[in-house]
Homo-oligomer: A and B are copies of this chain.
Amino acid sequence: MSEPNTDETTRGTGVSRRRAITLAGAGAAGVAGVAVGAGALFGGGDQASATETAAGAVPFHGEHQAGITTPAQDRLHFVAFDVITKDRARLVELLQEWSAAAARMTAGKDAGLIGAVDGVPEAPPDDTGEALGLPPSQLTITVGFGPTLFRDAQGRDRFGIVDKRPAALADLPHFAGDALKPELSGGDICVQACANDPQVAVHAIRNLARIGMGVVSVRWSQLGFGRTSSTSRGQATPRNLFGFKDGTANLKAEDTDLLREQLWAQPGDGPAWMAGGSYLVTRKIRMLVETWDRSPLAEQEMIAGRTKGSGAPLGKRAEFDEPDFTAKGDDGEPVIAETAHVRLAHPDQNDGARLLRRGYNFVDGSDGLGRLDAGLFFIAYQRDPRKQFVPIQTRLARNDAMNEYLRHVSSGLFACPPGVRDAADWWGRALFS
């Protein structure tokens, strides 16, 4: 492989996935294949415009990590790793390698420096190959550090960074009704891969796991589809598996002032290395859809506090109308019940606290009891979980009428550092330097 690297944002020899397949001898047929594949995914209409949007690339380098305010893509592969080495230098080296691989993959290239196709026959390929020929598909890769990376269960400083542990990364309390599975919770490092093609998201996680062999081990992983929140005003509000619009009052990319106030860790908030970062809470929430589906429409709407069709708050006409929590019906009862989800979760009822949510639906087969194992993989970014997720979830866990249909089975908390600035920077540089 002798093609010069013309892309300043990546290291090593740059071979795009499309270019690699052409070089490998598929020639015109291979290129046609790419077009057909993209057509199947993206509608087969105007290929150029498709490439610019759902199939295109999201810049990896920047002030903040991509994958937070990036308009939510349609598919998720999330993984939590345990760090299995005690060697700080190996961990640092991995974070450097990951940063370089992520810059390549988000640009639609192979994960490795050599390339899957023209690698040395005696060596394992530098890319696993299943995304060859697929476009970047708006892939973003977002990394976070869990509390256990700083200090283990015995309180030991694992990598000499315990003094840099942010106070905001305080272990979450137990919430009423929690049914957490330890093997599906926590983790030393998380990686969130979002893309408009699940094969591209899976390829990214898998190659990071491959590169991390001997340093990290997969603790748990989750696939998701059908983003359940919009993170941009250009996106329609999607529906969760209860059939309701979800995330109408979500923090959105356009809310510049609110993002500063509620999303990004600011200088002075805590350790300097987190300035420009954000704190991530994940919750895997099993939804008892079969039970829900047997409940009357009126009860579903009372629990949600919204109408099912339009998503309007009860008593209002349209989705984005502000809910009136003081309104009473002819019977003297509140139009939006005291236990309605929309009331308990609303910023007005939580001292203005908001979250940037970008969760995904999941269906993980069946539960062995004749039901689908389905629900919401909740993802929320925020400036300080102690002031945002924790108080909101405390109220919800105690009072939300929806709890009858929900089971929280997994929980994660991670400090996501600021963006990787350029090819010389890497995830966690300020933390480990």
Contacts and interface: CB of A to CB of B under 8 A. Distances in A.
A196 B40 contact: yes
Contacts of A241: 128, 130, 202, 206
Contacts of A26: 309-311, 318-319
A54 B44 contact: yes
> How many protomers of this protein does the assembly include?
2
Interface in A88-143: 116-125, 127-133
Nearest to A49: B45
Residue from the set A45, A226, A370 with the largest chain B CB neighbour count within 10 Å: A45
Interface string A315-327: 0011110000000
A29 B311 CA distance: 11
Given A43-B53, A294-B124, A297-B124, A25 B310 contact: yes
Interface in A222-239: 222-223, 225-226, 234-239
A116 B295 CA distance: 13
Contacts of A371: 218
A197 to B, nearest CB: 8
A423 interface: no
Contact of A225 (B27, B33, B199, B220): B199
A427 to B, nearest CB: 21
A116 B243 contact: yes
Contacts of A206: 241, 289, 293, 372, 374
B220 A365 contact: yes
Interface string A235-254: 11111111110000000000
Which 6 A-B residue pairs are closest in the complex by CB-CB distance? A129-B243, A24-B309, A43-B50, A33-B236, A42-B43, A217-B370
19 contacts: A24-B308, A25-B307, A26-B319, A33-B237, A42-B42, A45-B45, A123-B296, A125-B293, A128-B242, A128-B243, A128-B293, A130-B239, A130-B240, A197-B226, A198-B225, A202-B241, A206-B293, A221-B366, A223-B365
